[in-house]
Amino acid sequence: MFIILLIQLIKFVSTVDYDDNGYLVYCPCMGRFGNQADHFLGALAFSKGLNRTLILPPWVEYRYGEPKSTQVPFDTYFRVDVLEDYHRVITMESFMENVSSEMWPINKRISFCYTQRSGEEPNSCNAKSGNPFGPFWNKYSIDFVGSEFYGPLNYDSQNQIMMEKWKLKYSASSWPVLAFTGAPASFPVQKENLFLQKYLKWSEDIANRSKQFIKRNMSGGGFLGIHLRNGQDWVKACQHVKDSPTLFAAPQCVGYRNERGPLTESMCLPQKTEIIKQVKRVLKKLNGTKYVFVASDSNHMIDDLNSAVQRLEITAIRLQPANPHLDLAILAQANYFIGNCVSSYTAFVKRERDVKGLPSEFWSYPQRKKQKHEEL
């Protein structure tokens, strides 16, 4: 029996493929899914720039009534095999189970940050201070024995000189794992990394459920997908439009330097009347549309929309119960899409649709000249 177990162990060890070029892991600790997705694309580019395997972090979710964040395995929502077409990746679960003991022993776990973070320990990254930082690393029983401040280096993967500086200072032989307190990426995603969206393919589960919903609820015609961001936190955020001309994901429509026009409050928080007018304008130019699918963080405006498009024999519907990831997958398949210029959630949909060559536009953009009468 002992010999059989030994043979099985030897076979297992021989199948574990360690990457001598090193690994990169980080906590996606800023914002919700949209922000985390922007950061992921940047981290993916950065890991390729350093030629290190990217450890795919779980998605951090904040669920109503739960005091701490929940960590959802990366492959719950996305396919790992498609990402491998671009660069080497491994899920956090697989890394911790099969690789960490050899490549990242407990006494070698150092957290990386640009400069010291406030927290319990002085002169430290305090990588586990606060939520979601603590729950994220605790999920995998990871504790850090020290901190490393990497400033003034940055994570611009387009800068080859910078990438060489990283490799020189943090060689894979001395630093097999670079563990970042936060994502080594900018927000919003750099223009040069937008193309990486094509490697983010929905998991079989999400893809199938989205197609089933469309088939069961929107068969017999095309559908317009819209994203409405109107919760109280968003209302407050939009008050900063005047002081932040590239607020959040705004570069997706106004450009990274506002070269495509100014950001307006209406683009961030359009009024009901503006939303209905724009929906009608779009429906006017679409043939065979029978449905308006609505995704929202708060008010879906289903009654308002149904009243507005009743004469056209078009029905507004939403997903129940709410599922933001399923919403995203459905919106990506719409015949046409209207989203919020400032929202990173919309940005995810827009990038996926751009990859597929599907048409999209934003609320109140570009600005239209007011007309006396605007009827369908």
Nearest Cα to Cα of residue 155 among 45, 296, 313:
45
The per-residue pLDDT for 367 is: 81
Please determine, for residue 45, whether its predicted confidence score (pLDDT) is greater than 60: yes
Residue 8: band (very low, low, confident or very high) from pLDDT cuts 50, 70, 90: low
Mean pLDDT rounded to a whole number for the chain:
94
Helix axes 344-356, 324-331, angle to 10 degrees: 40
Residue 73: band (very low, low, confident or very high) from pLDDT cuts 50, 70, 90: very high
What string of DSSP letters covers 88-148?
Answer: -EEEHHHHHHHTHHHHS-GGG-EEEESS--SSSSTTS--TTSSTTHHHHHHTTT---SEEE
pLDDT tens digit sequence for 47-56: 999 999 999 9
CA distance 104 to 100: 5
pLDDT tens digit sequence for 148-159: 999 999 999 999
CA distance 35 to 43: 12
Please determine, for residue 376, whether its predicted confidence score (pLDDT) is greater than 50: no
Please determine, for residue 74, whether its predicted confidence score (pLDDT) is greater than 70: yes
* Region 96-112 average pLDDT: 97
pLDDT tens digit sequence for 14-26: 467 899 999 999 9
374 three-class SS: coil
Domains and CATH numbers, the chain: 10-192 (3.40.50.11340), 203-362 (3.40.50.11350)
The full length of the chain comes to 376
CB atoms within 10 A of CB 266: 16
pLDDT above 70 as % of the chain? 94
The per-residue pLDDT for 162 is: 98
**This prediction's pTM:** 0.92
What string of DSSP letters covers 234-274?
Answer: HHHHGGGTTT-TT-TTTHHHH-TTSTT----HHHHS--HHH
* Region 61-70 average pLDDT: 92
The per-residue pLDDT for 368 is: 72
The per-residue pLDDT for 12 is: 46
CA distance 71 to 66: 12
